């Protein structure tokens, strides 16, 4: 293939397929674009129905499920839905979405909430403004989403870094020493509810499924019990968690002193639902909407769904990459055979990106019956330099985060298998790595 022709080929494919733009098959939900999210969101209607009223009434919800299953999209959707319903019902609700806060001490959690509250109050409240200044060290950026109706009030807070040990508000000469932020949180909660009505605070991705961070989160939340129990606001949190199969109600969070009134388990999507996501995503950029997944034919899109193990994140990765390949290979309709060709090229691409260390881990995983699991043989662990499954988990989670492995829940607990997308990378000879 001559160099520099890729863009031309992709432009031609866009023309051929009737696209204004590249369809947004993304690994993360469109956090700041409520309209797009609302259009793409698929399924989960029963789950949505289960959470709106409890949140309105100040109860806490835990959303759990494996990486990429759509937890963030779900809670964002919940917030927007709450907002829309509240407007229609002339109720006052202020939904707040916090993400990229990876836990810390209980005080850190209070500071985060305090920062959030002072952020929404600062325009009319000098004390809040002062606290905002004092909390600058938290490296929080706040924004307001454009929203469905152009004035949706979902406040978005991104916490870039809030590690344990960040000392906030210790600067000398300041009026506030915020070593104990609890008082202010209480006070600002009162002010915020007075001004905005009910508060619904979503905190996304609290844990990264590593045993250590799970413990930190637990300690943190237990310390924050008075805040979480407060009837002034409802919390909705997401966490990966490591459940015993079918034991959602007894897992780490569910067992925490009735902290959460509902635990919503998000499971993998059906092939039909994934197909709908593809249709909706494509329609966002099509000059003329259609109700199929063209340029994928039905067999091809079903194949993409199968290969993604029902995980929307992986489905999006596969769709995006197969479409790129199809564009390069100047394919008009991606039928079953074309899909196979393109998908193989994608697998080769994935394989080429994998480091030798990762390749050997994947190889061991693919040769271990049942993948990495609590029952995996000692020899497989030995080869990896571990003596226990627990030790191996952070590495496995890293591979999951890189779409190379899948975490599955089964009767014995949790296990990791090689993602179909990475099956070529898991073959011993690095074919296509040249």
Partner 1 sequence: MTEKQAVRDNLPRVPDTGVVGRGRELAEIIKALLDPDIPIVTLVGLAGMGKTALALAIAHRLREQGEFPGGIVWLNASIVQSLDEVWESVRETLDLPSPQAARRHLREHPTLLILDGLNEAVQDMEILAFLDRLPRPSKVLVTSRERVGLVGKELIVEGPKYKVEAALVGAVGDGAQVTTVVTGDRDIIPVTRWTITGEHARVAQGAAYEVKAKNYAAAAEAYRQILVSFDPTGLTDDDRRRCAEISHRMGTCLRLDGQWGPAVEQQEDTFRQFKKLRDFHGQGRAYLEIARAYQAMNSYDLAALYYRDAHRLFRRAGDVMLAATAKEELGNLEYYLHVLKPAMADWEEAARLYEQAGRPGKVAIIRQNLAQVQAG
Instruction: Count residues near partner 1 (CB under 8 A).
Output: 29
CB 45 within 8 A of CB 301: no
Residue 78 CA to its chain's centroid (Å)? 14
- Tell me which residues in 183-212 interact with partner 1 (CB under 8 A): 211
- Please identify, using beta-carbon distances, which residue of 64 and 275 lies nearer to partner 1: 64
What is the spatial distance between Cα 401 and Cα 358, in angstroms, rounded to a whole number?
13
- Tell me which residues in 274-313 interact with partner 1 (CB under 8 A): none
Give the phi and the psi of residue 296 in degrees, each rounded to 5: -70, 140
Q: Does 164 bind partner 1 (CB under 8 A)?
A: no
- Please identify, using beta-carbon distances, which residue of 169 and 254 lies nearer to partner 1: 254
CA angle 413, 416, 421 (to 5 degrees): 145
CA angle 3, 420, 404 (to 5 degrees): 75
Q: Given the rule CB under 8 A, which of 143-151, 281-289, 343-351, 387-395 is the region that contacts partner 1? A: 387-395
Smallest gap from Cβ 12 to partner 1, in A, equals 51
What is the spatial distance between Cα 117 and Cα 131, in angstroms, rounded to a whole number?
10
Q: Which of 11, 390, 401, 428 binds partner 1 (CB under 8 A)?
A: 390
- Please identify, using beta-carbon distances, which residue of 240 and 345 lies nearer to partner 1: 240
Smallest gap from Cβ 161 to partner 1, in A, equals 23
Dihedral-angle region of residue 68 (phi above 0 means left; psi in -120 to 50 means alpha; beta otherwise): left
Q: Does 388 bind partner 1 (CB under 8 A)?
A: yes
Q: Can you list the alpha helix ranges (DSSP code H) found in 71-168?
A: 71-88, 106-121, 126-134
Query: What three-state secondary structure class fits 237?
Result: strand
Q: Which of 143, 226, 258, 374 binds partner 1 (CB under 8 A)?
A: 374
- Please identify, using beta-carbon distances, which residue of 279 and 376 lies nearer to partner 1: 376
What is the spatial distance between Cα 382 and Cα 386, in angstroms, rounded to a whole number?
6
Q: Which of 231, 298, 332, 375 binds partner 1 (CB under 8 A)?
A: 375
Q: In the stretch 229-258, what mask flags binding to partner 1 with x, by CB under 8 A?
A: ------------xxxxxxx--xxx--xx--
Q: Which of 50, 136, 190, 215 binds partner 1 (CB under 8 A)?
A: 215
Surface-to-core class of residue 257, CB atoms within 10 Å of its CB (0-12 exposed, 13-18 middle, 19+ buried): exposed
Q: Given the rule CB under 8 A, which of 39-47, 104-112, 144-152, 382-390 is the region that contacts partner 1? A: 382-390
Q: Which of 41, 101, 315, 389 binds partner 1 (CB under 8 A)?
A: 389
Q: In the stretch 402-431, what mask flags binding to partner 1 with x, by CB under 8 A?
A: ---------xxxx-----------------
Q: Dihedral angle at the C-alpha atoms of 325, 318, 32, 148, nearest 10 degrees?
A: 100
Q: In the stretch 319-358, what mask flags binding to partner 1 with x, by CB under 8 A?
A: ----------------------------------------
What are the Cα distances from residue 299, in Å, to 99, 270, 294, 408? 37, 15, 11, 26
CB 349 within 8 A of CB 333: no
- Please identify, using beta-carbon distances, which residue of 189 and 414 lies nearer to partner 1: 414
Smallest gap from Cβ 385 to partner 1, in A, equals 10
Smallest gap from Cβ 371 to partner 1, in A, equals 15
Smallest gap from Cβ 345 to partner 1, in A, equals 38
Instruction: Using the structure block, give the residue that is written with the tokens 């204004």.
Output: 20
Residue 433's nearest CA partner among 347, 375, 369 is 347
What are the Cα distances from residue 107, in Å, to 23, 66, 223, 403? 42, 28, 8, 34
Other beta carbons within 10 angstroms of residue 123's beta carbon come to: 8
Smallest gap from Cβ 270 to partner 1, in A, equals 26
Dihedral-angle region of residue 61 (phi above 0 means left; psi in -120 to 50 means alpha; beta otherwise): beta
Smallest gap from Cβ 214 to partner 1, in A, equals 7
- Please identify, using beta-carbon distances, which residue of 237 and 318 lies nearer to partner 1: 237
Smallest gap from Cβ 395 to partner 1, in A, equals 15
Smallest gap from Cβ 100 to partner 1, in A, equals 24
Smallest gap from Cβ 374 to partner 1, in A, equals 4
Residues that bind partner 1 (CB under 8 A): 211, 214-215, 218-219, 241-247, 250-252, 255-256, 374-375, 378, 387-390, 393, 411-414
């Amino acid at each position: 293939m001559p160099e520099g022709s890729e863009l031309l080929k992709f432009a031609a494919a866009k023309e051929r397929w009737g696209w204004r733009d590249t369809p947004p098959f993304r690994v993360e939900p469109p956090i700041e674009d409520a309209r797009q999210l609302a259009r793409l969101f698929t399924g989960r209607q029963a789950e949505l129905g289960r959470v709106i009223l409890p949140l309105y009434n100040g109860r806490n919800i835990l959303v759990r499920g494996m990486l990429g299953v759509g937890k963030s999209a779900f809670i964002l959707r919940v917030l927007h839905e709450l907002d829309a319903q509240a407007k229609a019902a002339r109720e006052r609700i202020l939904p707040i979405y916090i993400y990229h806060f990876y836990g810390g001490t209980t005080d850190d959690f209070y500071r985060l909430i305090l920062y959030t509250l002072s952020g929404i109050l600062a325009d009319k409240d000098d004390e809040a403004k002062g606290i905002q200044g004092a909390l600058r060290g938290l490296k929080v950026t706040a924004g307001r989403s454009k929203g469905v109706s152009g004035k949706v009030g979902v406040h978005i807070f991104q916490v870039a870094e809030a590690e344990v040990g960040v000392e906030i508000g210790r600067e000398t000469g300041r009026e506030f020493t915020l070593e104990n932020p609890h008082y202010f949180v209480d006070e600002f909660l009162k002010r915020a509810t007075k001004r905005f009505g009910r508060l619904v605070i979503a905190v996304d991705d609290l844990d990264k499924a590593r045993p250590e961070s799970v413990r930190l989160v637990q300690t943190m939340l237990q310390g924050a019990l008075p805040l979480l129990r407060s009837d002034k606001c409802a919390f909705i949190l997401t966490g990966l968690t490591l459940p015993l199969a079918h034991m959602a109600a007894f897992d780490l969070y569910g067992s925490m002193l009735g902290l959460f009134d509902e635990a919503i388990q998000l499971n993998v999507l059906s092939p039909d639902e994934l197909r709908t996501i593809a249709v909706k995503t494509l329609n966002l950029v099509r000059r003329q909407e259609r109700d199929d997944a063209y340029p994928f034919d039905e067999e091809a899109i079903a194949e993409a769904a199968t290969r993604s193990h029902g995980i929307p994140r992986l489905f999006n990765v596969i769709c995006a990459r197969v479409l790129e390949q199809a564009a390069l290979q100047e394919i008009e309709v991606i039928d079953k055979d074309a899909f196979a060709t393109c998908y193989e090229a994608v697998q080769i691409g994935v394989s080429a990106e994998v480091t030798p260390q990762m390749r050997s881990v994947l190889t061991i995983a693919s040769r271990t019956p049942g993948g990495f699991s609590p029952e995996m043989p000692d020899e497989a662990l030995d080869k990896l330099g571990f003596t226990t499954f627990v030790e191996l988990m952070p590495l496995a989670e890293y591979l999951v985060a890189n779409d190379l492995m899948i975490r599955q829940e089964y009767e014995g607990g949790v296990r990791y298998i090689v993602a179909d997308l990475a099956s070529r990378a898991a073959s011993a000879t690095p074919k296509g790595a040249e």
